[in-house]
Structure formats: C-alpha cells, structure tokens
Amino acid sequence: RLNPFNRLQVILQHLKMSKNADSTADVLLEKRGGAGIITLNRPKALNALSFPMIQQIYPQIKTWEQDPETFLIIVKGTGGKAFCAGGDIIAISDAGKVGDRLTQDFFREEYILNNAIGTCKKPYVALIDGITMGGGVGLSVHGHFRVATERTLFAMPETAIGLFPDVGGGYFLPRLSGKIGYFLALTGFRLKGRDVLKAGIATHFVESEKLPALEKDLIALKSPSTENIADLLNSYHVKSKVDQEKEFVLDEHMEKINSLFSANSMEEIVKKLKQDGSPFAIKQLETINKMSPTSLKMTLRQLKEGASMSLQEVLTMEYRLTQACMRGHDFYEGVRAVLIDKDQSPRWKPAALEEVSDEFVDNCFKPLGNNDLKL
C-alpha cells in the first residue's frame, strides 16, 4: 500500500495529468494578453456545439465582459475543417423521442448565448475558417467582427431537416441586401470564401494561413478600442488577394432572387419560380421541393416578422418555433433522413405546401406562457 506521501504524489501527478489532458475538452477557454479566447475543440464532430459547451461558453463571456483586463473576445475552431458545423442536432432529436428536457434546455441556453454575443460589451471577433453552419452561425454572426477565409463555407440548411434557420436567423437574414437572406434561408444555398463577405455575413476576409499571425497581433494589442481592433483587421483584409477579382456568385442572379423571393407566400414563390423557368429558377425549385413544407412556411413568416424585430424579440419568437418543431413530425424525420440513415429521402407530413394551413403556422408562433424564453 502507498504511504501518505506517495499517495499525495500520485494524486498530484493525476491532477497534473488531468490538467494537461484538458486539451481533450470540447471547448477550451483561456486568457492570453488582453484577449479571452474560446476554442471549439471537437474536430471529429466538426466542432458541433453541444449542450455542455454552451454551458461553459456563456458564463465565460459574461465574466470576460466584466473584466477590466479583457479587451476583446476571440472565438475559433480546431482541426482545420470547420469553425462550427452546427448544433448537436442528433442529441436533441434523441432527447425529443423520449421526452427529455434537452429539447427545451438546449435551445433556451443556446439562444441566451446568442443574445450574450449580440449584446457583448467587449469587441467579439469570430474567425470563421471552414464550415460555419446553423449553431456556428449563431456563435459568430451577432458579434462585432466575422473574419472569413477562402475555406469558409456558410449555410443555414435547416429547412432540409424539418427545422428553420434559427439562432437569430430571423434577425440577420432579412437584413442582408435585397432578398439574399430569404433565398439563403429557404434553399440552404452554400456560400464559399469571399462570397460570405460579399453577402454581408462576414465583415473581413483574410487568408487562412494568416490567421495565426492575426490572432497573435490581436492578443498583443494594448488596451485596444473597437476602432483599434477594426484597424488591425482592416490591415489584414486589404492585404488578402485570394479571389479578389472574382465577382459575387449570386451577382448575375440578384435581379431574379429579389423578384422571385419577394412573394408573400411559399406557394407564390413556387409559382413565380415555375413561371420564370430559367435554369437558375428550376434549380431553386428542385431544391425547395426537397425541403419540409412546414419548415418553409414557418421560415418565410419568421423572416418577414423578424425584419422589424429586435434580436431579443427574434430569439423569443424562434424559441417558440423550436418547441413547435419538437412537438411535430418533420424535425425527427429530417434528422433521420439526413443525419442518421442518410438516405436523403425524408417523408414529410404534410407532404405539400398546400396542406400546411395558415392556422397551423399561426399556432407555431403562439407564446408559451411561463415557458417562453426570457432574455
């Protein structure tokens, strides 16, 4: 048997090891120089946001916000492939099937975090290098600065899994120029690299190989103001030449997007796309036909209403919608078809837009009384 001294050594050794082994944690939170740094560290899961990660990130942001020695917050992902590919949707789906509270708690805590980012008093810099979708958009888009790279892949693909572009999508999407936001929300269209900047989602574009240097320079800033941080980001941005000459991928389609996606109902959008008949319109029609009809109707209304709401009002509305999705059929079926069985052939109920009544959609937007999101 170990004597007390040896036992203490073993315990200390164990503590030291567990501290070093902490690089296996799903999210790393550290203070370097004047910067608080959040590193999403689930590379195998493309840094998907889990409930425990949300529970760690939120209080840390709040702490740094109060700390006079923290001047900015940086959020990034590990592994080189993704910033954050979304929320842990399979876990939520599994929870919903057995009536577990995670279906309420996950969205509630996630939206409280999204709001904390949107109202953060310290400059918040998201390095959105790689896949940035769904929950990853919520972790970045509401902050002061979003730095895209040539590897950034942005999408809000929720209508394909019986959900809707949440995490404040109802706030930022209708505020993009023209009807780009409506187009992105309904079709799940993917934007890459500099196009993420041109669409107005990113604020800066920097080559991914320059990010370590940029991060080092951000950390080294002495008591910087938001302007100082913007100046530093701009200096990197103007030096980035990758794809500088390429025109915006949606440029040639903007006129069509603005007219076709400005209709008042999903049925009308579909009708306009059919009447247009161009290769672009046909392609969007094919995409929309694969999406959950319920999600499409919910999303169109979400964006229309969100266009004139505050971020807090939008998140409250979206929380109601998540709970409607959790009570429904399409979310579980969409997750099954796209993420679990991967047969890509969801059987939506109802299967046609015409079968989703206005009354049903109205119900999804109804307040939840004591269960409403409080921000």
28 strand-pairing partners: 39
Point out the catalytic residue in the list 166, 215, 330, 333.
166
267 flagged as catalytic: no
CB environment 208-228: b (16+ within 10 A), e (fewer)? beebeebbeebbebeebeeeb
Find the helix or strand (DSSP H, E) in which 36 lies: strand 35-40
135 flagged as catalytic: yes
Contact 86, 153 (CB under 8 A): no
Q: Give the Å distances, CA to CA, from 256 to 7, 155, 253, 289, 354.
A: 73, 20, 5, 18, 24
158 flagged as catalytic: yes
Point out the catalytic residue in the list 34, 36, 77, 87.
87
Contact 146, 139 (CB under 8 A): no
Strands 191-192 and 72-77: unpaired
Point out the catalytic residue in the list 110, 129, 158, 318.
158
Q: Give the Å distances, CA to CA, from 306 to 134, 300, 343, 361.
A: 17, 10, 33, 15
166 flagged as catalytic: yes
Angstrom distance (rounded) from CA 185 to CA 164 = 8
Point out the catalytic residue in the list 96, 118, 134, 135.
135
Residue 258 in tokens: 């603005």
Q: Which of 234, 231, 296 is nearest to 269 (CA)?
A: 296
- Catalytic residue positions? 87, 135, 158, 166
